[in-house]
Amino acid sequence: MVYNYTEEAVRRILPDIIRDYLKTHPHICTCDLCKDDIMALALNQLPPHYVVSDRGTIFTQVSFDQIGGKAQVVAAITRAIEQVSNKPRHQ
Ligand SMILES: [Zn+2]
């Protein structure tokens, strides 16, 4: 199977980043639609990094070194949260 390592990394740390962001911005929406939008926007800002795994499961621990460092991923997610919370696609 082919996996996008970047996607796995974003999926793993997204809840932590949202939790941190909520500390300073308690009123942002964190419904499933907004979380999906945040994930898609963040992934569009980051280069994909495809890996092949013959097992059904991958990565017990995500290594951010492989995808340009954690800071880049956190920055992309934070930008995505700002964009989505400024303009959610629902009322
Ligand atoms: Zn929402």
Task: Give the range of the structural domain holding residue 32, as residue numbers without chain letter.
Answer: 2-86
Residues with a beta carbon under 5 angstroms from ion ligand 1: 29, 31, 34, 88
Within-domain flag for 91: no
* pLDDT confidence of residue 28: 95
88 Cα to the center of ligand 1, angstroms: 6
CA of 4 from ligand 1 middle (Å) equals 26
Which residue in this structure is represented by tokens 């629902």?
Answer: 90
Q: How far is the CA of 6 from the centre of ligand 1 (A)?
A: 23
pLDDT at 10: 95
Model pTM score: 0.87
Question: Is 44 inside a domain boundary?
Answer: yes
Longest Cα–Cα distance in the chain: 43
CA distance 20 to 9: 17
Backbone angles phi, psi at 59, to 5 degrees: 50, 90
Residue 67: inside a domain: yes
What is the count of structural domains for the chain?
1
Span 71-84, mean pLDDT? Answer: 97
Report the separation in Å between the CA atom of 30 and the middle of ligand 1, taken as the mean of its atom positions.
5
Residues contacting residue 58 through CB under 8 Å, at least 6 positions apart: 3, 8, 51
Question: pLDDT at residue 59 above 70?
Answer: no
